[in-house]
Chain A
């Protein structure tokens, strides 16, 4: 592995040594990072991040889990693609769906596929959703100091056959949910979900059991978000995971 840009726990030491070597000016750079106001780096310079937006919704059911996502990717006011799939199959019982920066999403999804394969070769079994949830958490935290610009939902069928959704922030804090929404329309989608399914304040959480109802609701939610969010639209991609595997459908929605 190329260790050039990696560090071990003693992160400070490495950074400091590197600075000393590469300093062009013959000035001793003082490592008073705690005292020095380093704001000049805030402006200008290379920015490795861009937000390509897009919305994704996931809802867990009794024996299935449903993902509804839009397929638009944007840069500023420009639309880059109208049929981008933001959901990736990891195992037969598990998919990951993300909003945010497409390059990072792609990288992360590919990395996870590779990790799943490694796991299968090493342990001669397919990782469970719970394992993948922890794996994704650690993978994201591994980039704590240069995070993936991706907001993820991990959806799958757990070992009891129940649907489950795991929600993440960009640096790997995660929790098990019954439904989740990520991406540009998350603020718009969350209240609808709270209203249609058991909200945060409901303590007894019974999962919905009818796929078709949930599917319609999922489509409606993305459609409603597309009404008010400029970054959401074009198509709804529905991914249903149940004990028979994964099904994908697409339906066109507003393209303006």
Chain B
């Protein structure tokens, strides 16, 4: 029931998520960061059961770090996404991780930002905007209507805020706070999208 969604411009990408951890009828935690910063220019937002989310994102983070140490090079955003897809698809036939991901990052080689959408079956697609779960039913249209090819970062953030307003208006779940992570050439910035 986690809400994650993101939008990508020419040289920026923003990924947003709610911060609640829910279990049966309880909200266990109100300030959980579901977007993991993999390094200075990659973020991985996961939705799904807490344990799979935690296990998968940390597994990926640690292995990417190991790669970087071994080779001296950090994987590009696309290579990272493909690596995650491989791991998820491998696990699917053994002990599946039930996580849906958005992978955002800045590609320093091409000088452009990229956003990838991936579900727990291992369907990987490069997108300009994407959402997962129930939130997708509400925000996909908002994203579609507001997206422009050359939109600025401010426009992007405003679009995400509109998405959150829509969720708060129509979605049954109580998701009081949202955070976002912006990836640009300069690195990753965290913003509070709630106010």
The reply on B94 being an interface residue by CB < 8 A is: yes
Does the CB pair A30–B95 fall under 8 Å?
Answer: no
* CB-based contact B94/A32 at 8 Å: no
Determine whether A145 belongs to the interface, using a CB cutoff of 8 Å to chain B.
Answer: no
Tell me if A31 counts as interface (CB < 8 A to partner B): yes
Instruction: Report the bound CA distance from A156 to B44 in whole Å.
Output: 59
Measured CA separation A34–B48 after assembly (Å): 14
Report B96-120 CB contacts with A as 1/0, cut-off 8 Å: 1010000000000000000000000
- Give the interface SS of chain B, mostly helix, strand, loop or mixed: loop
- In the complex, are the beta carbons of B94 and A16 less than 8 A apart? yes
B93, CB-defined interface residue at 8 Å: yes
Query: Which of chain A's residues have a CB closer than 8 A to the CB of B96?
Result: 32, 34
Q: Bound state CA distance, A34 and B96, in angstroms?
A: 9
- Look across to chain A and name the residue whose beta carbon is closest to the beta carbon of B96: A32
Query: Are A12 and B93 in touch, CB under 8 angstroms?
Result: no
Chain A interface category by residue count = under 10
CA distance A190 to B49 in the complex (A): 42
CB neighbors of A among B62-121 (8 A): 93-96, 98
Q: Using CB atoms, name the residue of chain B closest to A33.
A: B95
Closest chain B CB from A226 CB (angstroms): 43
The contact string, 1 if C-beta is below 8 Å from chain B, for chain A 36-58, is 00000000000000000000000
A30 to B96, CA, bound (A): 10
Q: How far, in Å, is A34 (CB) from chain B's closest CB?
A: 8
List residues of chain B with CB within 8 A of the CB of A12.
95
User: In the bound complex, how far is the Cα of B98 from the Cα of A34, in angstroms?
Assistant: 10
Determine the distance from Cα of A34 to Cα of B49 in the docked complex, in whole angstroms: 12
> Residue of B at shortest CB range from A32?
B96
- Measured in the bound complex, the distance between the Cα atoms of B96 and A32 in whole Å is 8
Could you say which residues of chain B place their CB within 8 Å of the CB of A31? 93-95
List chain B residues, Cβ under 8 A from A16: 94
Chain A residue nearest in CB terms to B98: A34
Instruction: Give the shortest distance, in Å, between A161 (CB) and chain B (any CB).
Output: 48
B51 to chain A, nearest CB (A): 11
Chain B residues closer than 8 Å to A32, beta-carbon distance: 96
Q: What's the Cα separation between A106 and B96 when bound, in Å?
A: 42
Chain B residue numbers with a CB within 8 Å of A30 are: 93
Instruction: Determine the chain A residues whose CB is within 8 A of the CB of B98 once the complex forms.
Output: 34
Closest Cβ–Cβ distance, residue A11 to chain B (whole Å): 11
Chain A positions within 8 Å of B94 at CB level? 16, 31
**CA–CA, A165 to B98, complex, Å?**
46
Chain B residues with Cβ under 8 A from A34's Cβ?
96, 98
Cα of A34 to Cα of B52 in the assembled complex, Å? 12
Closest to A16 in B: B94
**9 A-B pairs whose Cβ atoms sit less than 8 Å apart in the complex:** A12-B95, A16-B94, A30-B93, A31-B93, A31-B94, A31-B95, A32-B96, A34-B96, A34-B98
Which of A's residues lie within 8 Å of B, judged by CB?
A: 12, 16, 30-32, 34
Interface residues of B (CB under 8 A from A): 93-96, 98
Beyond the given A30-B93, A31-B95, please list 7 additional residue pairs across the A-B interface where CB-CB is below 8 A.
A12-B95, A16-B94, A31-B93, A31-B94, A32-B96, A34-B96, A34-B98
9 nearest interchain CB pairs?
A12-B95, A31-B94, A32-B96, A31-B95, A30-B93, A16-B94, A31-B93, A34-B96, A34-B98
